[in-house]
Amino acid sequence: MIFDVNPKKIAQDYRVEKNVRPLLSSVDIKRADNGEFFRAHPDEAYSFRLLILDNQYTLPHVVAPHLEEQLIGIAKRKILVTVITSHGDIKLHPVLETYTDHWNKTAHQALQLAKSEWIQMTSNKSMHNYELSSSSVIDTPVWPDITPSEIFNAAFSNQCINDMSHPVISKLKGK
């Protein structure tokens, strides 16, 4: 018996045909790669002002605001802005809440400009800042149908610190 495989094939655009919605399982908390174009979500609800513990040993963690005084120098106030890259990747671009240097100042400028145009940040180590470029040849971004809560949960699932007994805090304190 010969089996005809052709009727069983799924079309490449099966997501459209079957109303398939991709799930957001993770979101990187990092700026766009050096030289990569990105857009920032224009809705402020997609920007998060948070206390973040971020070090080389762990993934970034959200810290409960009541722990800020106990974690001075360890956790920092940051704004995480939802961005989409020219490749369609969703990221949370972190920037310190206040300007501390030229790097941070130009990162803030880039995120503001990226609300209305494609922006590219390139490190300029001799000037201690980012050089910014824009592009008008990339199509308007198509933002996926996801809520700010979905983005937050995909970025920080199991990465929230609510008390000083959290394992990450214990590890940092050498316990």
Structural domain spans, the chain:
24-172
**Cβ atoms of 53 and 67 closer than 8 Å:** no
Q: What backbone torsions phi and psi does residue 153 show, to the nearest 5 degrees?
A: -65, -35
CB atoms within 10 A of CB 50: 21
> In the chain, at which residue ranges do the beta strands (DSSP E only) sit?
28-29, 37-40, 47-53, 61-63, 75-85, 90-96, 118-124, 129-135, 160-161
Choice between 7 and 147, residue whose per-residue pLDDT is larger: 147
What contacts 71, CB < 8 A, 6 or more positions away? Answer: 51, 53, 63, 169
Model confidence pLDDT, tens digit, residues 108-132: 999 999 999 999 999 999 999 999 9
Predicted model pTM:
0.84
